Structure 1
Amino acid sequence: MRGKRHASIAVVALILGVLLALQFRVSSEPQPAVASGERARELTNDLSELRKEKNNLALDVADLEERVMTARQGIAQAEGAIINEIEKHRVLAGLTAVAGPGVEIILQNVQRAEQPTEDVALFAIRDEELVRLVNELRGAGAEAIAVNGQRLMGTSEIRLAGPFVNVNLTRISPPYQVQAVGDPVVLHSMLELPGGLVETLRDWGIDVQIEVLEELIIPAYQGTVRLEYARPYKEGD
Structure 2
Amino acid sequence: MTDHPHRARRVVARGTLSVALVLALSGALFAANAKFARASGERHPQDLRELAQVETTRVTHLSSEVDALRAEVDALTADENAAAGTVVGSPSEGYLVEGGLVPVDGPGLTVQLDDAPADSPRREDVSPDVLVVHQQDLQAVMNALWAGGAEAMELMDQRVISTSAVRCVGNVLRLHGRLYSPPYVVRAIGNPADLRKALSASPAVQSYLRDAADVGLGWSVTDAQEPLELPAYSGTTELSSASVPDGVEILPGLEAAEDEARTSAPDTTESTGSTR
User: TM-score w.r.t. structure 1 length?
Assistant: 0.56
- Residues 108 and 175 of structure 1 are in contact (CA less than 8 Å); yes or no, is this contact kept in structure 2? yes
Residues 227 and 118 of structure 1, relative CA distance in 2, 3 Å threshold: closer
| Aligned partner of 1:98 among 84, 98, 104 | 104
In 2, Cα distance between equivalents of 1:93 and 1:108:
28
Once the two structures are superposed, the pairs formed by residues 119-198 of structure 1 within 5 Å of their partners are 119-193=127-201, 197-198=205-206
In 1, Cα distance between equivalents of 2:92 and 2:203:
40
Per the TM alignment, residue 164 of structure 1 is displaced from its structure 2 partner at its CA by 0.9
**CA offsets per residue over residues 129-169 of structure 1, 9 Å max, x none?**
00011000011011111110121111100111233111223
In 2, Cα distance between equivalents of 1:86 and 1:181:
19
Once the two structures are superposed, the pairs formed by residues 7-86 of structure 1 within 5 Å of their partners are 83=90, 85-86=91-92
One-letter amino acid of the structure 2 residue matched with residue 120 of structure 1: P
**CA offsets per residue over residues 30-82 of structure 1, 9 Å max, x none?**
xxxxxxxxxxxxxxxxxxxxxxxxxxxxxxxxxxxxxxxxxxxxxxxxxxxx6
2:214 paired with 1:206 = no
- Residues 132 and 171 of structure 2 are in contact (CA less than 8 Å); yes or no, is this contact kept in structure 1? no
2:94 paired with 1:88 = yes
| Aligned partner of 2:232 among 209, 220, 230 | 220
In 2, Cα distance between equivalents of 1:117 and 1:125:
18
Residues 117 and 209 of structure 1, relative CA distance in 2, 3 Å threshold: closer
One-letter amino acid of the structure 2 residue matched with residue 222 of structure 1: S
| Structure 1: gaps of 5 or more residues | 1-81
One-letter amino acid of the structure 2 residue matched with residue 101 of structure 1: P
Name the % identity: 28
Q: 1:64 is matched with which residue?
A: none
One-letter amino acid of the structure 1 residue matched with residue 212 of structure 2: R
- Residues 135 and 168 of structure 2 are in contact (CA less than 8 Å); yes or no, is this contact kept in structure 1? yes
**CA offsets per residue over residues 100-146 of structure 1, 9 Å max, x none?**
00010111211133856754332100101000110000110111111
Residues 192 and 229 of structure 1, relative CA distance in 2, 3 Å threshold: closer
- Name the one with the larger strand percent: 1
| Structure 2: gaps of 5 or more residues | 1-88, 243-249, 259-276
User: TM-score w.r.t. structure 2 length?
Assistant: 0.49
Residues 99 and 118 of structure 1, relative CA distance in 2, 3 Å threshold: same
Residues 86 and 195 of structure 1, relative CA distance in 2, 3 Å threshold: closer
Q: 1:4 is matched with which residue?
A: none
- Residues 133 and 171 of structure 2 are in contact (CA less than 8 Å); yes or no, is this contact kept in structure 1? no
**CA offsets per residue over residues 171-223 of structure 1, 9 Å max, x none?**
11111110000011111233245966153343242121111114111111111
In 2, Cα distance between equivalents of 1:149 and 1:201:
26
SS in 1 for 2:227: strand
In 2, Cα distance between equivalents of 1:90 and 1:195:
31
**4+ residue stretches of structure 1 with deviation over 6 A?**
232-236
Larger Rg: 1
Q: 2:53 is matched with which residue?
A: none
In 2, Cα distance between equivalents of 1:132 and 1:217:
23
One-letter amino acid of the structure 2 residue matched with residue 91 of structure 1: V
- Residues 188 and 212 of structure 1 are in contact (CA less than 8 Å); yes or no, is this contact kept in structure 2? no
